């Protein structure tokens, strides 16, 4: 089928608009600051086989992992019109337990045509520690595990299923609001995508989708063909797993050959006792993200754009862990380090296109209290310094790579929780020096107005973000309670008046011989 390029561009943008509207509905209807204010959610469209058709510019680790896992999920279910599936099991298509996914099929004239899906991070999914991001050693310590099950049947929410989920949370009313927001987002997606398919016809929609995938593959192969043929190796290390294992290596051998890339993570450390393990879908998300950044802006976010990329991750290593491995930090911290490893390998092949390492941690902070009558949960990720590159210095105090969330505004934190933000600003001098300096990290200090349980899951506290082309490393991060250093991953109790200070890493610098830093 020969497709007019203008019509193809309009089709791609209409699919993206469906995802954007789903996100807007989810945000506006959600109860929790984590979804409404931090925007910790993602929305996408898939074809009838679970292959990615479109996605909004939301959270890379959500979207890449959904794209990797959806085919297996949809093939295992006997779908019916009006159903919605809910899941968070990391070993059955999820990432980590707080990320809960809702999937809805779209039927036209009785035929299954497509799926819409959204994934949102719930600050409470039933872990013993508030924020459901514990320093764990088993999956069942991290909260309620939801194997794929119908949350909605024939258009009606299953009261038994939703009751079981809400019963595991500290604030069922807030949790219910967030789940209903996710249901509403999928219903909006079904309505808009259904209208598009009705206009085009099922056959026309399928033909246009085939053309979109072919276009994406052409753009991807053309972009990847600019990488010189060769074998490139890189290694980086995780600080620790929170259970006593330190200096945990990720090793990569990347082969590039005429527009195709194969990545082999053989030699990476086995899965560990702590929660930096991740399912294969998370590792795939990090890899796909890096290569998507090398493709032209107009490259559609569809399955065809990722066909030239092959991934080999040994089963049982901590990037492809086996059940019942703990995985809470794998989704957030390990995914960030995989990005650094892939970029480190690419820097050997195309140094003119690759920046230094960014802060390399989502700097996760979870806290709350289960006190009767005052139960609360709060989860935050914090930005840091972006790595500098050939085209400019690193940005300061930003989220980077696998996360795309906002901070929780100070006003929201202080109005919703017994916390005062005592200090919030850039961490001067934390960016690595170079001809172009790395971005500065953040300093965020929390004064507690009531006792609470706190969990920190952070990285780049031992191994600083590396510089490139002669640039210096950014400063490593620090966590302190009342001025005393804390481990990178720790759970602890705090009392009224205690002060927690998180200093996030700076980005690496770019370029040596730097008497006068460039902007």
Classify residue 350: in a domain, yes or no: no
Segments of the chain with pLDDT less than 70: 1, 58, 62-63, 372-373, 515-519
Report yes or no: 232 and 346 within 8 Å, Cβ to Cβ: yes
pLDDT of residue 515: 65
Classify residue 293: in a domain, yes or no: no
Q: Given 177, 195, 216, which residue is the final one in a domain?
A: 216
pLDDT of residue 3: 84
CA dihedral 405, 409, 415, 421 (to 10 degrees): 110
Classify residue 442: in a domain, yes or no: yes
pLDDT of residue 63: 67
pLDDT of residue 516: 59
DSSP letter at 494? E
Residue 146, SS3?
A: coil
Strands 419-427 and 441-448 come out as antiparallel
Q: Which helix (H) or strand (E) holds 414?
A: helix 410-416
pLDDT of residue 93: 85
247 sits in the region (left: phi over 0; alpha: psi -120 to 50; else beta) called left
Classify residue 24: in a domain, yes or no: yes
Q: Residues 374-386: pLDDT tens digits?
A: 789 899 999 999 9
Classify residue 304: in a domain, yes or no: no
Classify residue 505: in a domain, yes or no: yes
Classify residue 59: in a domain, yes or no: yes
Q: Given 216, 249, 274, which residue is the final one in a domain?
A: 216
pLDDT of residue 326: 98
Query: Residue 115's closest CA among 178, 59, 66?
Result: 66
Q: If 0-12 CB within 10 Å is exposed, 13-18 middle and 19+ buried, where does residue 52 land?
A: buried
Report yes or no: 484 and 236 within 8 Å, Cβ to Cβ: no
CB contact set of 449 (below 8 Å; sequence gap of 6+) = 418, 419, 420, 496
pLDDT of residue 513: 84
pLDDT of residue 175: 94
Angle at 505 between CA 433 and CA 482, to 5 degrees: 130
Domain residues for the domain of 40 are 5-216
Classify residue 249: in a domain, yes or no: no
pLDDT of residue 449: 96
Place of tokens 């993602």: 42
How many independent structural domains does the chain possess? 2
CA dihedral 264, 266, 267, 272 (to 10 degrees): 110
444 sits in the region (left: phi over 0; alpha: psi -120 to 50; else beta) called beta
Q: Given 193, 216, 239, which residue is the final one in a domain?
A: 216
Q: Residues 261-319: pLDDT tens digits?
A: 999 999 999 999 999 999 999 999 999 999 999 999 999 999 999 999 999 999 999 99
Q: Residues 170-185: pLDDT tens digits?
A: 889 999 999 999 999 9
pTM value is 0.95
Report yes or no: 327 and 274 within 8 Å, Cβ to Cβ: no
């Amino acid at each position: 089928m020969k497709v007019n390029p203008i019509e193809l561009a309009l089709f791609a943008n209409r699919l993206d608009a469906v995802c954007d509207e789903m996100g807007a509905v989810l945000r506006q209807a959600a109860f929790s600051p984590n979804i409404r204010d931090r925007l910790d959610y993602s929305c996408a469209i898939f074809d009838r086989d679970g292959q990615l058709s479109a996605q909004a510019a939301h959270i890379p680790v959500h979207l890449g992992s959904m794209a990797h896992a959806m085919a297996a999920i949809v093939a295992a279910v006997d779908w019916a019109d009006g159903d919605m599936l809910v899941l968070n099991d990391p070993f059955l298509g999820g990432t980590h337990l707080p990320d809960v996914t809702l999937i809805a099929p779209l039927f036209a004239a009785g035929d299954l045509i497509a799926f819409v899906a959204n994934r949102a991070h719930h600050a409470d999914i039933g872990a013993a520690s508030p924020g459901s991001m514990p320093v764990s050693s088993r999956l069942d310590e991290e909260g309620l595990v939801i194997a794929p099950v119908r949350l909605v049947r024939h258009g009606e929410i299953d009261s038994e299923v939703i009751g079981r989920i809400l019963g595991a949370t500290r604030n069922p009313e807030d949790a219910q609001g967030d789940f209903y927001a996710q249901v509403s987002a999928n219903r909006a997606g079904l309505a808009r995508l259904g209208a598009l398919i009705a206009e085009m016809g099922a056959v026309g929609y399928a033909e246009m989708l085939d053309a979109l995938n072919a276009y994406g593959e052409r753009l991807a192969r053309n972009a990847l063909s600019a990488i010189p043929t060769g074998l490139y190796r890189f290694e980086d290390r995780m600080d620790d797993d929170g259970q006593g294992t330190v200096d945990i290596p990720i090793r990569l051998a990347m082969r590039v050959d005429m527009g195709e890339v194969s990545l082999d993570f053989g030699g990476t450390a086995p899965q560990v006792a702590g929660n930096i393990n991740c399912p294969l879908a998370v590792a795939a998300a990090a890899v796909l993200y890096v290569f998507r950044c090398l493709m032209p802006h107009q490259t559609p976010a569809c399955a065809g754009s990722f066909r030239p990329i092959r991934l080999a991750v040994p089963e049982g290593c901590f990037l492809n862990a086996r059940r019942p491995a703990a995985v809470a930090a794998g989704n957030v911290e390990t995914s960030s380090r995989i990005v650094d490893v892939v970029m480190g390998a690419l820097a050997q092949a195309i140094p003119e296109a690759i920046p230094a390492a960014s802060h390399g941690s989502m700097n996760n902070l979870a806290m709350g209290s289960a006190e009767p009558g005052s139960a609360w949960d709060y989860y935050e990720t914090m930005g840091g310094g972006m790595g500098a590159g050939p085209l400019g210095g690193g940005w300061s105090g930003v989220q980077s790579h696998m996360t795309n969330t906002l901070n929780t505004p100070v006003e929201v934190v202080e109005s919703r929780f017994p916390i005062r933000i005592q200090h919030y600003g850039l961490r001067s001098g934390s960016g690595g020096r170079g001809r172009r300096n790395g971005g500065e990290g953040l300093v965020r200090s929390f004064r507690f107005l009531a006792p609470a349980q706190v969990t920190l899951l952070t990285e780049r506290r031992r191994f600083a973000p590396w510089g490139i082309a002669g640039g210096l490393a950014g400063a490593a991060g620090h966590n302190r309670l009342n001025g005393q250093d804390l481990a990178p991953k720790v759970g602890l109790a705090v009392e009224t008046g205690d002060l927690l200070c998180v200093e996030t890493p700076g980005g690496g610098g770019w370029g040596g011989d730097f008497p006068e830093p460039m902007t």
